[in-house]
A and B are shown apart, each in its own frame.
Chain A
Amino acid sequence: MADIPVPVEITAAVWKIEVEVGARVAAGDVLLILESMKMEIPVEAPRDGTIRSILAAEGDQVEEGQVVVVLEA
């Protein structure tokens, strides 16, 4: 088991969080949806795993490269 940090690829606001801690996800599942420059940008699970922690809340501003979810895989 290893912790996989999931960073965002763009400076944005967190619009919606689609998962909860402990949830099982598959690679490609949408973890949260960002909003930047009037566009919705999904953040997807890089691989199968379990959500270990969520490091942002809806409405938060996040910076490019900031880790928002840690996946246990």
Chain B
Amino acid sequence: MLGPVLIANRGEIACRIAATCRRLGLRSIAVFSDADAGAMHVAAADAAERIGPAPPRDSYLSIPAILAAARRSGARMVHPGYGFLSENAEFAEACTAAGLVFIGPPASAIRAMGGKAAAKAVARQAGVAAVPGYDGADQSPERLAAEAGGIGFPVMIKAFAGGGGRGMRRVEAAAGFPAALAAARREAAAFGDDRMLVEKLVGSARHIEVQVFADAHGTVLHLGERDCSLQRRNQKLVEESPAPGVDPALRAELGRRAVALARAVGYVGAGTVEFVADAAAPLAADRIWFIEMNTRLQVEHPVTEMVTGLDLVEWQLRVAAGEALPFRQDDLAPRGHAVEARLCAEDPARNFLPSPGTIAVLRMPAAGTGLRIDAGFRAGDVLTPYYDPLIAKLIAHAPTRDEALARLAAALDGVAAEGIRVNAAFLARVLRSEAMRAGGVDTHFLEGFRAREAA
């Protein structure tokens, strides 16, 4: 296989990629900003290159700095991890132009799935149902309002090029539509594109996504689904596989859709197709709609690894080096149940306020059979305001969902931190809650649970 591998990321994902490189006998090179010179991910790799000052745009988001580090270190492959440059088509092209193998899909696939409307157009062509809505060329307020009426209120207005919640508005009734459209347009203008789409709002929704894997020889497989409905501020905190209520027939149907989309854009490597499911009724194929595709490894990929027994980073590396996937779809049925919790430096009691600072003490449970820990920080490390609050991921695997939830809750009981606040005790209570044990909670559940605790 090709090597060495430059890991263009930090924290737990950089440590996790380095571990697989080591197991495969590939040399790994970490990159670090000035804030991360002593970080755990630097120690996890065989070598490390400084890429610039602490602000991400000057380091982890700087294409020239990353490419220069690759040149200096003699890297032949670049793994972007998640976040940062992982879904940046220009970065993928720049790596190729510099003679490096970008571990990810072709730039054309990143672009094809890069915008909300572009992705919906791909879905239409592939015959995959997207959330009902309008994303046409006639952008007059009259036409958009008429389309909203046709879809039925409540609706969401979303900028074609939006992100992070900007250029997005929920509209309850026709009377509020013109003002909401104007406000969303003003925000979207900052992205240089004020085109808007209108979508049906799924009031009570579950987030269900399908892991796909493709090689460069025409094989595209799916590795089952994950339920990522436990979120705060539209960010996931707990993920599991399989998803409660997804039977083999529905898994096969969602897998078929995900594979069709991956094929439609010439996908290669690991990717995730995200769906929204109506949570108001038992899951049904005709109440599940495509939203978008993430053209990279996901934070929550370990739950899929636990139930399939595959190392997704290993297969990313092998596929990037030109190997063919040796599996058949029938080999990939999930075994048991896996649940992941994201241990973050934040305070649930203060509405999940982040908690940067020095980790004075960090006690973690022992990893072992049925419990995996992907950590990015140790006692003594500093969590700076520059980067996200994820400290580690705890992943439990057991024959049944009940056992996996109990094992993960017990593992979270074993976490203790001083110097920063962490969400471990909160997540343990969530995992033991009646609603969570019953399964099928929606994307509002976690914030509601916190609010009820605070009351």
Give chain A's interface residues, CB within 8 Å of chain B.
Answer: 9-13, 35-39, 41, 61
- Which of B85-93, B179-187, B236-244, B382-390 participates in binding chain A? B382-390
Q: Is B106 an interface residue (CB 8 A)?
A: no
Interfacial chain A residues near B389, Cβ < 8 Å: 37-39
The answer to whether A10 and B387 touch across the interface, beta carbons within 8 angstroms, is: no
The answer to whether B388 and A36 touch across the interface, beta carbons within 8 angstroms, is: no
- B233 closest partner in A (C-beta): A39
Interfacial chain A residues near B430, Cβ < 8 Å: none
Interfacial chain B residues near A35, Cβ < 8 Å: 385
Report the bound CA distance from A37 to B386 in whole Å. 6
Report the bound CA distance from A12 to B383 in whole Å. 12
Closest approach, in angstroms, between the C-beta of B234 and any C-beta of chain A?
11
Give chain B's interface residues, CB within 8 Å of chain A.
Answer: 233, 345-346, 350, 353-357, 383, 385-389
A-B contact pairs, 29 of them (CB 8 A): A9-B350, A9-B353, A10-B353, A10-B354, A10-B355, A11-B356, A11-B385, A12-B385, A13-B385, A13-B386, A36-B354, A36-B356, A36-B385, A37-B345, A37-B346, A37-B354, A37-B356, A37-B383, A37-B387, A37-B389, A38-B387, A38-B388, A38-B389, A39-B233, A39-B354, A39-B389, A41-B353, A41-B354, A61-B385
Report the bound CA distance from A38 to B10 in whole Å. 14
Interfacial chain A residues near B354, Cβ < 8 Å: 10, 36-37, 39, 41
Main secondary structure of the interface of B (DSSP, over half): loop
When A and B form their complex, which 3 residue pairs have the shortest distance between CB atoms, in order from nearest? A37-B354, A36-B385, A37-B389
- B345 closest partner in A (C-beta): A37
Interfacial chain A residues near B387, Cβ < 8 Å: 37-38
Interfacial chain B residues near A61, Cβ < 8 Å: 385
Interfacial chain B residues near A41, Cβ < 8 Å: 353-354
The answer to whether B345 and A11 touch across the interface, beta carbons within 8 angstroms, is: no
- A37 closest partner in B (C-beta): B354
Report the bound CA distance from A10 to B242 in whole Å. 38
The answer to whether A11 and B357 touch across the interface, beta carbons within 8 angstroms, is: yes
Closest approach, in angstroms, between the C-beta of B447 and any C-beta of chain A?
14
Closest approach, in angstroms, between the C-beta of B69 and any C-beta of chain A?
23
Interfacial chain A residues near B345, Cβ < 8 Å: 37
Report the bound CA distance from A16 to B357 in whole Å. 23
Report the bound CA distance from A62 to B354 in whole Å. 14
The answer to whether B388 and A37 touch across the interface, beta carbons within 8 angstroms, is: yes
Report the bound CA distance from A12 to B386 in whole Å. 8
- A62 closest partner in B (C-beta): B385
- A35 closest partner in B (C-beta): B385
Interfacial chain A residues near B386, Cβ < 8 Å: 13
Other than the given A10-B354, A10-B355, A41-B353, 20 more pairs (CB < 8 A) read A9-B353, A10-B353, A10-B356, A10-B385, A11-B356, A11-B357, A11-B385, A13-B385, A13-B386, A36-B354, A36-B385, A37-B346, A37-B356, A37-B385, A37-B387, A37-B388, A38-B387, A38-B389, A39-B233, A61-B385
Closest approach, in angstroms, between the C-beta of B66 and any C-beta of chain A?
19
Closest approach, in angstroms, between the C-beta of A4 and any C-beta of chain B?
21
Report the bound CA distance from A42 to B233 in whole Å. 14
Report the bound CA distance from A13 to B81 in whole Å. 25
Report the bound CA distance from A36 to B54 in whole Å. 13
Closest approach, in angstroms, between the C-beta of A24 and any C-beta of chain B?
24
Interfacial chain A residues near B350, Cβ < 8 Å: 9
Interfacial chain A residues near B233, Cβ < 8 Å: 39
Interfacial chain B residues near A36, Cβ < 8 Å: 354, 356, 385
Report the bound CA distance from A11 to B357 in whole Å. 8
Report the bound CA distance from A30 to B356 in whole Å. 22
Interfacial chain A residues near B356, Cβ < 8 Å: 10-12, 36-37
Most chain A beta carbons < 10 A, residue from B354, B383, B385: B385
Closest approach, in angstroms, between the C-beta of B370 and any C-beta of chain A?
30
Report the bound CA distance from A32 to B385 in whole Å. 17
Report the bound CA distance from A9 to B383 in whole Å. 16
Report the bound CA distance from A13 to B386 in whole Å. 8
Most chain A beta carbons < 10 A, residue from B345, B356, B383: B356
- B356 closest partner in A (C-beta): A11
- A61 closest partner in B (C-beta): B385
- B353 closest partner in A (C-beta): A10
Report the bound CA distance from A11 to B419 in whole Å. 13
Closest approach, in angstroms, between the C-beta of A64 and any C-beta of chain B?
8
Report the bound CA distance from A38 to B354 in whole Å. 9
Interfacial chain A residues near B346, Cβ < 8 Å: 37
Interfacial chain A residues near B355, Cβ < 8 Å: 10
Interfacial chain B residues near A11, Cβ < 8 Å: 356-357, 385
Interfacial chain A residues near B388, Cβ < 8 Å: 37-38
- B55 closest partner in A (C-beta): A13
- A12 closest partner in B (C-beta): B385
